[in-house]
Amino acid sequence: MNETQFLQLIDQHQGIIFKICRLYRDTKEDREDLFQEIVFQLWKSLPGYSARASFTTWMYRVALTTAIAVFRKKQPRIVYTAALPEHTLGPRPENPAAEQLMQTLKQLNDGEKALIALYLEDLSYQEIAEITGISENYVGVKLNRIKQKLAKLWTH
Amino acid sequence: MDTLKSAWQGMPGREKQQHELRGMLQEGKHPVLKQLRRQVIFESLLFTVFLVVYYDFFDGNRKPPALNALLVSGVLLVIVHGILGYFAAKQPVKGNSLHEALSARLKQLKTFAILSVTFRVLSTVCMLLFFTYAITFTVNKQLIFGGAAVILLIQFAILVWMWVRRIARLGAAAKELN
């Protein structure tokens, strides 16, 4: 696969990377850094990609590994603006449902986040098992536990 | 769960342009690597200058050759540590599954943590041996040396704690997917 073909595939599936960044990082700057880190890692890891597996399966694996394994910045980045912002708590979210979902998902641990993200993408248990490396049955067990946890968090 | 799924799938994503994505493939534009590279270059330059001048400035000629060799080794360890850290940070993801990839990263992290703490301790010991050679310890000097030793021990403890936390976090994620 050459650079142009690779970039076309990334362009096509960049929504996946964006959602993973939102799930694993809290600030806009950290998400931007993670997005770039994931794209860079995908490119660096490309020689290890076998065309036998689907591109998205491989992409999920590399993106989730990067999101979990790369260290977060120790300190929040401070941005000085010329004027005080109008909203003290930040701008109103574009999509309140998505924002509420994210706040709930962020309360899960890193491993649980990976599993639920794959489930919410509508991947089959077989595909989730292939990406994560755990058995299909165990995927079911784990997801049931996470769903129960989420149901509690969602109603609170 | 269906509500969650539709909220997840309908989540808006900011579109990156092709030229932005192309730029992200370049190591030179990578934010973390760029920062690391600057740090490694700066530290290497600083320590190189130190190695050039220490012999005259810190009486290297009056100290045994073994101590001079220790000091040079200590400084080289700091430089090598920075370079190794840079190359470790740009390692590609390996493994056929998320669990395998995280386990491989965990192994790499543990190795680097041991290396990092060992290098830091060794380089500090080398420098301390050089600078404290032939010093006549008065009460004041003993107090200063004691204070510096306590500060160094606290720094080592923070370094170890930082690595333990990173390893524990990654280990927990790998275990969750086992």
State the average pLDDT over residues A13-25: 90
Inter-residue contact A76 to A30 (CB < 8 Å)? no
Does B62 reach chain A within 8 Å, measured CB to CB? no
Tokens of A24: 């694993």
The CA distance from A84 to the nearest CA of chain B, in Å, is 26
**Is residue B156 scored above 90 in pLDDT?**
yes
pLDDT reported for residue A65: 92
**Burial zone of A135 (CB within 10 Å; 0-12 exposed, 13-18 middle, 19+ buried):** exposed
Answer yes or no: do B95 and A11 touch at CB < 8 A: no
> Rounded to whole angstroms, how far apart are CA atoms B60 and B67?
9
* Residue written as token pair 């404290």: B132
**How large a percentage of chain B has pLDDT more than 90?**
43
> Rounded to whole angstroms, how far apart are CA atoms B14 and A115?
23
> Rounded to whole angstroms, how far apart are CA atoms A48 and A8?
19
Q: Which helix (H) or strand (E) holds B33?
A: helix B31-57
Question: Sorting pLDDT into bands at 50, 70 and 90, what band is A141?
Answer: very high
Question: Sorting pLDDT into bands at 50, 70 and 90, what band is A27?
Answer: confident
**Is residue B43 scored above 60 in pLDDT?**
yes
Name the residue facing B90 among A11, A44, A68 (closest C-beta).
A44
Inter-residue contact A121 to B8 (CB < 8 Å)? yes
Which residues, 6 or more positions from B95, have their beta carbon under 8 angstroms from its beta carbon?
Answer: A61, A65, A133, B101, B102, B103, B104
Interface test with chain B among A34, A101, A147, by most B beta carbons within 10 Å: A101
Tokens of A138: 């165990």
Tokens of B24: 């992200």
Nearest residue of A to residue B163, measured between CA atoms: A71
**How large a percentage of chain B has pLDDT more than 70?**
98
State the average pLDDT over residues A43-57: 83
φ/ψ of A89, rounded to 5, equals -105, 20
ipTM: 0.80
- pLDDT higher at A87 or A36: A36
Which residues, 6 or more positions from A130, have their beta carbon under 8 angstroms from its beta carbon?
Answer: A53, A57, B97
pLDDT reported for residue A56: 87
- pLDDT higher at A76 or A29: A29
Answer yes or no: do A132 and B177 touch at CB < 8 A: yes
Nearest residue of A to residue B5, measured between CA atoms: A120
- Mean per-residue pLDDT of chain B: 88
Beta strands in chain A (DSSP E): none
State the average pLDDT over residues A125-149: 91
**Is residue B161 scored above 90 in pLDDT?**
yes
Inter-residue contact B10 to A98 (CB < 8 Å)? yes
Does B28 reach chain A within 8 Å, measured CB to CB? no
Question: Sorting pLDDT into bands at 50, 70 and 90, what band is A78?
Answer: low
**Residue-wise pLDDT tens digits, B89-139:** 888 888 888 999 899 999 999 999 999 999 999 999 998 899 888 788 888
pLDDT reported for residue A73: 55
pLDDT reported for residue A89: 47
pLDDT reported for residue A86: 55
Question: Sorting pLDDT into bands at 50, 70 and 90, what band is B154?
Answer: very high
Does A65 reach chain B within 8 Å, measured CB to CB? yes
**Is residue A93 scored above 60 in pLDDT?**
no
